[in-house]
Structure 1
Amino acid sequence: MARLPENTLLYHITHITNLQSIIEQGALMSHARIRLNTLSYKDVANQDVQSRRNRTRIPVGTGGNLHDYVPFYFAPRSPMLYVLYMQQIPQDDLVYLMTNTEVVQRQCPNFVFTDAHAIRRLTNFFTDLEDLNRIDWGTMRATVWTDTDEDPNRKARRQAEFLVHNDVPLSACIGFAVYSVETKQKVEAMLKEAGLSLPVAGRRQFYF
């Protein structure tokens, strides 16, 4: 395992049509909170996976199931994003909301994280940031994370998750990353209208 990075960046992907609701609510909400508040939300995730997430219990910390948490990845260009790319969902419509572990620890203390895809039976769950050294940082930094005969679980480890209970306030967001200049301008306009000054950066390398 590679050396633990400081102030570990965390990445959440959402469809751009959800951004207005996120701004209005002042927070990124868990799947359960979105349902409870009957908010309009465009879900781009695989529905079979979502069904399994709703049944997957969290064995540590606050407990509950995966839908009680806002999920983040430890790296961009995730396997989930690749699936969306292969489904021809426009990359321009997908926006990253970013935070880091230091900010989350300060503002959202009810969190857990995993060392691989959270719905896998053998995945481990943690609540102490000291255990971030259990993440496969080499695979997180890799451009290619596909499984091999020698290592059939690379993709699962790339999908390790950082999970925040209930919601993440926009005050914990350190910025947005987008595919193109056009999307950057759209997001900036939405933030400006709401009186927010969060940075928006074009990060083509975060996409496929």
Structure 2
Amino acid sequence: MSGTECIHGFENGLCDSCFPKAAPVKPVTRASSPSRSKRVPGTPRASSAKVPSLSDQRVYHVTHISNLESILREGQLVAAASIEDSILDISSPLTRELRSAAALSTGEPVDRYVPFSLVPESTSWRELRAGATEPRWSDAARTATPTDFVFLVSTVRALGDDAVLADGDAAASLTRFATDETAITRMLGNLRADELTDDAEVLIHGSFAFDDVQLVGVASDKARERVKALLDGASFKTKVAVYPPWFIQ
């Protein structure tokens, strides 16, 4: 392996296998000290905790590979409220109704935002990969296989100043939202510390330019060739990487 490119085709440290995140440093305790229980989420933590980098946080959007042609033609990902009929919708009618009825603290409905996850192994992706049996998924999602999907990878920095962080499903009644950099950084730090990033969503209003997608993750060489052909046809130079671990249950 040379430079900053890994054996899986990723660049700039995007690969968690070739460029693993540093393990958190655990405090040294005396042998006689009583064991400490895990901190309850939401309770105050020591002020000396390191503030996580917000702008470099990776974000992931999963879509069916058949949707790429439409996305590339438009040059952007668009919110559910603006999706064309030609898009293969993996959300059930119930999910679409809930996300159109739920509103952020900004007053805008959730379905007017493009969603991203904070981790590739998100709760929603685990459900999709396992067969999408939950009510929130469509029949199209249930008939798809994990290798039919692609990951569109970017960063919070690329999302811009209008990004909103939700600490859970954005349509759930108890979900909290952070809309400014200070609040987002604090919430992100809490989610990381409490290992609660699987359900969180990062939302961008309206649309997200495909130019800001840094990498497309696919399951196989066959999918890579298909995606590269679509990108070349649309004059996008976005890198495509085969990374099977994201697609294996």
Alignment TM class, shorter chain as reference: 0.7 to 0.9
Shift of 1:3: 5.4
Paired-residue identity, %: 25
Q: Which residue of 1 aligns with 2:237?
A: 197
**Is the radius of gyration larger for structure 1 or structure 2?**
2
After TM superposition, list the pairs within 5 Å mapping 1:57-72 onto structure 2: 57-60=103-106, 63-72=107-116
Q: Which residue of 2 aligns with 1:127?
A: 179
Shift of 1:138: 4.7
Aligned to 1:45, the other structure's residue is in SS state coil
Q: Which residue of 1 aligns with 2:128?
A: 84
Q: Which residue of 1 aligns with 2:79?
A: 30
Shift of 1:172: 1.4
Match of 1:51 among 82, 88, 97: 97
Q: Distance between the aligned counterparts of 2:76 and 2:234, measured in 1? A: 13
Q: Which runs of 5+ in 2 are unaligned?
A: 1-44, 132-141
1:72 is matched by which residue type in structure 2?
F
Name the TM-score, length of structure 1 as normaliser: 0.81
Q: Distance between the aligned counterparts of 1:176 and 1:17, measured in 2? A: 14
Q: Distance between the aligned counterparts of 1:171 and 1:118, measured in 2? A: 25
Q: Distance between the aligned counterparts of 1:203 and 1:54, measured in 2? A: 34
Q: Tell whether 2:211 aligns with 1:167.
A: no
Q: Distance between the aligned counterparts of 2:221 and 2:158, measured in 1? A: 27
Q: Distance between the aligned counterparts of 2:199 and 2:92, measured in 1? A: 14
Q: Which has the larger helix fraction?
A: 1
Number of matched pairs: 185
Shift of 1:180: 1.4
After TM superposition, list the pairs within 5 Å mapping 1:108-123 onto structure 2: 109-123=161-175
Which structure is higher in RCO with an 8 Å CA cutoff and minimum separation 6? 1
Q: Distance between the aligned counterparts of 2:216 and 2:186, measured in 1? A: 26
Shift of 1:39: 4.4
Match of 2:118 among 47, 69, 74: 74
2:162 is matched by which residue type in structure 1?
N
When residues 104 and 119 of structure 1 are mapped into structure 2, their CA distance, relative to the original with a 3 A threshold, is same
When residues 11 and 52 of structure 1 are mapped into structure 2, their CA distance, relative to the original with a 3 A threshold, is same
Match of 2:154 among 99, 120, 142: 99
Q: Which residue of 2 aligns with 1:181?
A: 221
Aligned to 1:44, the other structure's residue is in SS state coil
Q: Mean Cα displacement is larger for which, 80-89 or 14-23?
A: 80-89
Q: Which runs of 5+ in 1 are unaligned?
A: 141-153
Q: Which residue of 2 aligns with 1:151?
A: none
2:62 is matched by which residue type in structure 1?
I
The Cα RMSD (Å) is 2.0
Q: Distance between the aligned counterparts of 1:172 and 1:19, measured in 2? A: 15
When residues 85 and 138 of structure 1 are mapped into structure 2, their CA distance, relative to the original with a 3 A threshold, is same
Shift of 1:47: 3.4
Extract structure 1 runs of 4+ deviating beyond 3 A. none
